[in-house]
Amino acid sequence: MKMYKLFGAAIVASMMLISCSEEEASTNASSVPETVITKLKAMGFNPDGIQKVDEGYRIERDIIITEEFLEHAGAEQVVPDLEQYSTNNLVSTGGSRLITLYAPVGGRKGYSAGMIAGLDLAIARYNAQNLEISFQRVTSSAGADIVMTRLAKGDERRGILGSAGFPTAGGDPYGEIKMSGILESSYGLSTEGIATIIAHEMGHCIGLRHTDYFNRAISCGGSASNEGDGGVGANHIPGTPTGATLNAQSYMLSCTDGSDRPFNNDDRTALGYLY
Ligand SMILES: [Zn+2]
- In DSSP notation, 176-217 reads EEEE-S-TTTTT---HHHHHHHHHHHHHHHTTB--TTTT-TH
3-state secondary structure of 249: coil
Inter-residue contact 115 to 183 (CB < 8 Å) = yes
CATH number of the structural domain spanning residue 103? 3.40.390.10
- CA 124 to ligand 1 centroid distance, Å: 20
Inter-residue contact 166 to 176 (CB < 8 Å) = no
- CA 62 to ligand 1 centroid distance, Å: 5
* Span between the terminal Cα atoms of the chain, in Å: 31
Please tell me the distance from the alpha carbon of residue 104 to that of residue 41, in angstroms, as a whole number: 37
**Among 62-71, 86-95, 229-238, which stretch is predicted with the lowest mean pLDDT?**
229-238
Please tell me the distance from the alpha carbon of residue 199 to that of residue 127, in angstroms, as a whole number: 11
- CA 8 to ligand 1 centroid distance, Å: 17
- For 73, phi then psi, to 5°, come to -65, 145
120: exposed, middle or buried (C-beta count within 10 Å: 0-12, 13-18, 19+)? middle
Given phi > 0 = left and psi -120 to 50 = alpha, else beta, which region is 186? Answer: alpha
Q: What is the pLDDT of residues 60-74, one digit of tens each?
A: 778 788 888 787 765
Asked if pLDDT for residue 259 goes beyond 70, the answer is yes
CB atoms within 10 A of CB 35: 8
Which residues lie across from 226 on neighbouring strands?
none
The predicted model scores a pTM of 0.80
Please tell me the distance from the alpha carbon of residue 111 to that of residue 114, in angstroms, as a whole number: 8
- CA 63 to ligand 1 centroid distance, Å: 6
- CA 138 to ligand 1 centroid distance, Å: 24
Give rounded-to-5 percent helix, strand, coil for the chain: 30, 20, 50
- State the average pLDDT over residues 125-147: 97
Q: Which domain holds residue 82?
A: 4-274
Asked if pLDDT for residue 92 goes beyond 70, the answer is yes
- State the average pLDDT over residues 151-176: 91
Please tell me the distance from the alpha carbon of residue 117 to that of residue 86, in angstroms, as a whole number: 27
- To the nearest whole number, what is the mean pLDDT of the chain? 80
- State the average pLDDT over residues 40-66: 77
Say what percent of the chain tops pLDDT 70.
Answer: 74
Of 11-25, 63-77, 175-189, 204-218, where does the model show the most confidence?
A: 175-189
**Among 83-97, 155-169, 198-212, 220-234, which stretch is predicted with the lowest mean pLDDT?**
220-234
CA dihedral 243, 246, 251, 253 (to 10 degrees): 70
CB atoms within 10 A of CB 172: 16
- State the average pLDDT over residues 133-161: 94
Instruction: Give the number of domains in the chain.
Output: 1
pLDDT-derived band at 23 (thresholds 50, 70, 90) equals very low
- CA 230 to ligand 1 centroid distance, Å: 14
Inter-residue contact 225 to 212 (CB < 8 Å) = no
Of 13-22, 191-200, 259-268, where does the model show the most confidence?
A: 191-200
CB atoms within 10 A of CB 92: 14
Please tell me the distance from the alpha carbon of residue 216 to that of residue 119, in angstroms, as a whole number: 25
pLDDT at 237: 73
- CA 95 to ligand 1 centroid distance, Å: 27
32: exposed, middle or buried (C-beta count within 10 Å: 0-12, 13-18, 19+)? middle
- CA 19 to ligand 1 centroid distance, Å: 19
pLDDT at 18: 33
pLDDT at 139: 95
- CA 201 to ligand 1 centroid distance, Å: 6
Give 58 or 236, the one with higher predicted confidence.
58
Please tell me the distance from the alpha carbon of residue 99 to that of residue 93, in angstroms, as a whole number: 10
Half-sphere exposure of 224 (CA within 13 A, CB side): 4
User: Who surrounds ion ligand 1 at CB < 5 A?
Assistant: 4, 62
- CA 253 to ligand 1 centroid distance, Å: 7
pLDDT at 228: 60
User: CB-based contacts of 129: which residues, under 8 Å, 6+ apart?
Assistant: 263, 268, 271, 272
